[in-house]
A and B are shown apart, each in its own frame.
Chain A
């Protein structure tokens, strides 16, 4: 398992770091050679650690012995040094990757496929140069997971979160894990093994990815909401004029008028037949309004206050041909303005009447 973790981190960091967008691409052959060299170095460190920690290799490695590694006997102090060296090397690679990535997020925000391009590129390259079947499986699964998450993230995430917020979250998560690693480095290998260190480094790597950044952000936001202390406002005085006092009839009628408006707006975007039917119904509702004595001052006021609506209002009240020439959405706008100009508290009867006109025409 140790080597699998090493392979995963080494390949991810090296290949990803080798091909940052906005900089010259590293040719695949060179990237693979560098990756192989780093892998060899990690494997050597891993074997040396085994020899120093346990006095023997825990995983068979053809042609390698503790003696030819220069670690013939168990030496916990040396094992600790090797462990720390592995941590330093991997962490340096991860940091280099992260710094490039963060820079790209700033400079190429519009290219929201960036992360996924990099991840797929890195994982695909890793598959090509990994010998162990299990490692291939792990990386393939990781690749599939990224691809699976791609669509929803592409569509939603830039709309919902600013890059700076996500970067701040990634920085905070990375700093927290880095702090843990630094603290644990002071421990002996019996208390903080290389396996545990590799686990921490994997978490450190993923803390610097967008998916983890978003997850942590959502988790933190949710936790903040759960823990938030909520209380009512304490006010000395309020303006009595700002207190809403609607009767249940007016409240219900207003809500229904809103629902009818949504229905009409939907019909006006529908088929030509639906649109024509909606146009006619709205025209008749307008005429119902104008026949009601209570609405007459309101209609006249709107003609005066909103001159842009007057020509269509006059047409609606004109001959049948003129009346039918007014577009439905314009009639809807006029009726909405009439509703708006009706006082909910003082002219509640008109609001209820308006709702009745809608009821009778639908």
Chain B
């Protein structure tokens, strides 16, 4: 059963990636999905979040290293995915996230 966490939509791309990585390392989990979430009722005066789902891993050695890649041209998605696959990166998500408060299409990869 994945655990759902919400990360601030105001974080920079590298901070968001680090926060996800930090949770993985701490909780012995792996990120399985990430997607922007607009919340009607604010929490901590914020309405923009990124909803993350984490699943437990059997060993600490199975925690993947995350890479988030900004997609400006969707036509490049196949080549981005192919180049990540070539280096062992597995696609985790292809979604719109909130990065520094703005919607941005992102690809997320994990490499064990």
Chain A: residues with CB nearer than 8 A to chain B? Answer: 218, 221-222, 225-228, 230-238, 240, 242-246, 248, 250-252, 254-255, 257-258, 261-262, 265, 332-333, 336, 339-340, 342, 344, 351
Residues of A within 8 Å of B27, CB to CB, are 340
* Known A226-B78, A242-B6: A231·B39 in contact at CB below 8 Å: no
* Known A225-B77, A225-B94, A226-B75: A236·B40 in contact at CB below 8 Å: yes
User: Cα distance A259–B47 when bound, in Å?
Assistant: 32
Q: Which residue of A is nearest B61, CB measured?
A: A265
User: Cα distance A240–B36 when bound, in Å?
Assistant: 16
User: Cα distance A228–B35 when bound, in Å?
Assistant: 14
Q: Which residue of B is nearest A243, CB measured?
A: B6
Chain B: residues with CB nearer than 8 A to chain A? Answer: 4-8, 15, 18-19, 21-28, 35-41, 43-44, 49, 51, 60-61, 63, 65, 74-75, 77-78, 81, 94-98, 103, 105
Q: How far is the CB of B68 from chain A (nearest CB, A)?
A: 13
Residues of A within 8 Å of B98, CB to CB, are 232
B23 contacts A244, CB within 8 Å? Answer: yes
B43 contacts A226, CB within 8 Å? Answer: no
Give the 6 A-B residue pairs with the shortest CB-CB distance, closest first: A222-B78, A258-B25, A232-B36, A254-B22, A233-B37, A226-B74
B15 contacts A251, CB within 8 Å? Answer: yes
Residues of B within 8 Å of A262, CB to CB, are 61, 65
State the main secondary structure of chain A at its contact with B. helix
A236 contacts B25, CB within 8 Å? Answer: no
* Known A226-B75, A236-B40, A237-B41: A258·B35 in contact at CB below 8 Å: no
Extra inter-chain contacts (9) besides given A234-B40, A237-B41, A258-B24, CB under 8 Å: A226-B77, A235-B38, A238-B43, A250-B22, A252-B18, A254-B26, A258-B21, A258-B22, A342-B26
